[in-house]
Chain A
Amino acid sequence: MSADRLVKRFGELTAVDDVSFAIRPGETYGLLGPNGAGKTTIINMVAGLIPADSGSVDVAGIRMDPAGIAVKRHLGLVPQELAIYPDLTARENLNFFGRLQGLGRKELSSRVNAVLELLGLAERAGEQTKKYSGGMKRRLNIGIGLLHRPGLLILDEPTVGVDPQSRNSILEAVGDLSAGGTAVLYTTHYMEEAERLCDRIAILDQGQIQAEGTRDELITLTGGVDRISLVGAGRSAAAAEALRSLDGVHRVTDSGGTELILTVTDGAALLAGIVSTAVRSGMTLASVSVTRPDLESVFLHLTGKALRD
């Protein structure tokens, strides 16, 4: 699929601003950004749920249109909310959505069984889903999206509120699908998920793609800098000011007076000087950590704020 210069406005707010990207078969493409960055709006446009104000989306060579039927056969959507009927069983839910996808009776039956097996829900397929755990509901939510073997699977924060075990199982299932040739568009604000799953990642903030590439390509954007976190109380503003003047310190971000985040070259070598400067400036330190570059660092480097902000 490809998205070309997508723009979406809601009144005065430009939720998506000139966003373009493409995903190849078998590739997992991540949209990484904080809440409100525009991820779900992009997904809604790609899935044909809302029209773009300008720009276009093509899936399997067909132009996406909210009224289009043929193009929607190629995609499977896993929305962020649990879009399942709690008073129906897992099998009934799958049967219902399978019929909407136009699957014939025989194919539907075999696909429902296969998906239930894949997601580990076969044994409780006849139970109403309101009796399921959160993780089981999430798995079913995903299963509905891949029931008809879509060429493009769109997952909008599929692991929100899921226990670690279910999250792992979901990530494994997505990895298997991608390995099987399915193109996956994956949105998340969990950096670890994006690093683990995605072949390429777009860093999204305020409706715009700030950077795009593989994990390694994105990390080089930081210039190989380390991230040092100083957590404590006291005169953090004065400490930040003092730390900015040190050699090798590129940026100091004050996160609400209790944490200073520094991007530095060779954190291990500079650590002792940084700690003593902070203490001298009146900051009482509770903890210090040094992190090698990761996507969090990239986001901080590109936007000047932490991903969780």
Chain B
Amino acid sequence: MKAILAIAGVEVRRFLRDRSNIFFAFIFPLLLILLLGTQFGSSSAETRVALAGGSGTALLTALTEQLEADGMQVESGTAQVVREQLGRGRADVGLIISNEAATAFNDERRTELEILTASQASAQAALQQVRGSLQAISMRHSQLAALEQGGLAAEAAKSALTHAREAVQAPRVDILDTDNTAKEFRGLGVFDLGAVQQLLLFIFLSSLTGSATLIQARRFGVISRTLAAPVSSRQTIAGQAVGRFGIASVQGAYILVGTALLFGVDWGNLWLTALVLVAFSAVAAAGAMIIGSLLDHDGAATGIGIGSGLVLAGLGGCMVPPEFFAEPLQSFSWLTPHRWAYDALAAIQRRDAAFTDILPSLGVLAVMAAFLLLCGAWLLRRSLQRAL
């Protein structure tokens, strides 16, 4: 065991000592998560409505009060800002209040508002909620007008309406969002989704590019030399495999802790998250063993590592959330370890999944890791025999 840990320890140390890895493994992932979160992240479980125009008017006040009373999150800004918010998915519905509309509302005339919706799937349900609120304002306005026309003073009419509302159980319309894709992301923090995706992407990427250290160890003749020491070939291969696993784990743990501390990412049950990371890191480590044993040039390993790491990450939902994938990409994505790990982490993070819920994902990842590890060990043994 001492020999295995010595070999593994040196591999991790060499990975950390490479200056380019300091940027790509430690600075770049957090920068990317920060960028994605601030530009595309959404932190609300509520419908988000952005209002523009009508500053200081009764219409703006009425809209704001009603929308908030109906449980929506309201923000104000210019028309340009509202359009940007909608474009980035940071608002579901935008309302543009023109001067004419504000005046018409005051004059108790027909009032027209410009309504804009975002492109995300949740926007349609949000639009229905906003329509409900607008109808409520319209209804209240009509009722007040009717009472005032009936001879009541404005204050008395308001009071009567309030009494009536308390006395009568009014029919209620609840907007039920049946869009599972939209519901899937409700309640996530600004950085939560991006953190999961980049975590998986970088664990694999760092592991595959880190296979360069294995190639160097073979090329330098260090692995051959270890075989002349009182170390069996099994221990040597196991040491290399544990070393790859160590590189993946260091990368994973860093992003996990870093995003939790810096960006407040909620990872859910940490033990279960760690379990998924262990299984996923094992797959990444085994993949690195294969590349490190097959190739003879560390530059080629870096190129292939980056290329295959990005392709697998893309297919596995680490660039665009897999919930948005259409068939057959949706089915195809399950061939990647990323998709299984993403699914398990999403279940832990969003639905408080228990161990049994993520067991299928863990099982598939374990089988993938075992298969790739066997291939990697066989290839490494073969390359050593050839070298000697």
Residues of A within 8 A of B (CB): 44, 47-50, 66-67, 69-70, 72-73, 75, 77, 79, 81-88, 92, 96-97, 99-102, 144
Contacts and interface: CB of A to CB of B under 8 A. Distances in A.
Given A49-B388, A82-B220, A77 B14 contact: no
A66 B384 CA distance: 13
Most buried by B among A47, A50, A100, A144: A100
Contact of B388 (A50, A83, A92, A97): A50
Nearest to B220: A83
10 contacts: A47-B228, A48-B228, A72-B230, A77-B228, A84-B222, A99-B2, A100-B3, A100-B231, A101-B229, A102-B3
A85 B220 contact: yes
Residue among A67, A75, A81, A83 with the highest chain B CB neighbour number at 10 A: A83
B159 to A, nearest CB: 82
Given A72-B228, A100-B229, 15 more contacts: A49-B228, A73-B230, A77-B225, A79-B225, A79-B228, A83-B221, A84-B220, A84-B222, A85-B217, A85-B222, A87-B18, A92-B10, A96-B6, A97-B226, A99-B3
Given A44-B388, A100-B231, A87 B14 contact: yes
B232 A97 contact: no
A306 B115 CA distance: 95
Which secondary structure dominates chain B's binding surface? Answer: helix
Nearest to B236: A100
A69 B228 contact: no
A186 to B, nearest CB: 16
Contact of A79 (B14, B224, B231): B224
B139 interface: no
Contacts of A86: 220
A201 to B, nearest CB: 24
Interface string B202-230: 00000000000000110011101111111
Given A72-B230, A101-B229, A88 B10 contact: yes
B228 A75 contact: yes
B16 to A, nearest CB: 10
A64 to B, nearest CB: 11
B17 interface: yes
A144 B220 CA distance: 14
Contacts of A77: 225, 228
Nearest to A76: B228
B242 to A, nearest CB: 14
Contact of A72 (B17, B217, B229): B229
Nearest to B222: A83
Nearest to A80: B221
Given A44-B388, A48-B228, A72-B228, A81 B221 contact: yes
A99 B227 contact: no
Interface string B1-43: 0110011001001100110000000000000000000000000
Contacts of B10: 85, 88, 92, 96
Nearest to A128: B17
A245 to B, nearest CB: 50
Contact of A69 (B217, B221, B230): B230
Contacts of B222: 83-85
A49 B17 CA distance: 30
Contacts of B221: 79, 81-83
Contacts of B18: 87
A85 B230 contact: no
A246 to B, nearest CB: 50
B230 A83 contact: no
Given A87-B17, A87-B18, A100 B230 contact: yes
Please name the 3 residue pairs, one residue from A and one from B, whose CB atoms are nearest each other, closest first. Answer: A83-B221, A77-B228, A99-B6
A200 B217 CA distance: 35
A82 to B, nearest CB: 7
A254 B29 CA distance: 68
B227 A49 contact: yes
A48 B227 CA distance: 8
Contacts of A84: 220, 222
Nearest to B239: A100
B229 A85 contact: no
Nearest to A104: B2
B107 to A, nearest CB: 79
Interface in B73-118: none
Contacts of A97: 225-226, 229
A268 B25 CA distance: 73
A83 to B, nearest CB: 4
B227 to A, nearest CB: 6
A85 B225 CA distance: 12
Nearest to A71: B230
A156 B222 CA distance: 15
Contacts of A99: 2-3, 6
A69 B225 contact: no
Contacts of A70: 230
Nearest to B17: A87
Interface centre among B3, B10, B229, B232 (most CB of A within 10 A): B229
Given A88-B10, A102-B2, A83 B225 contact: yes
Interface in B214-265: 216-217, 220-222, 224-233
A86 B222 CA distance: 11
A115 to B, nearest CB: 15
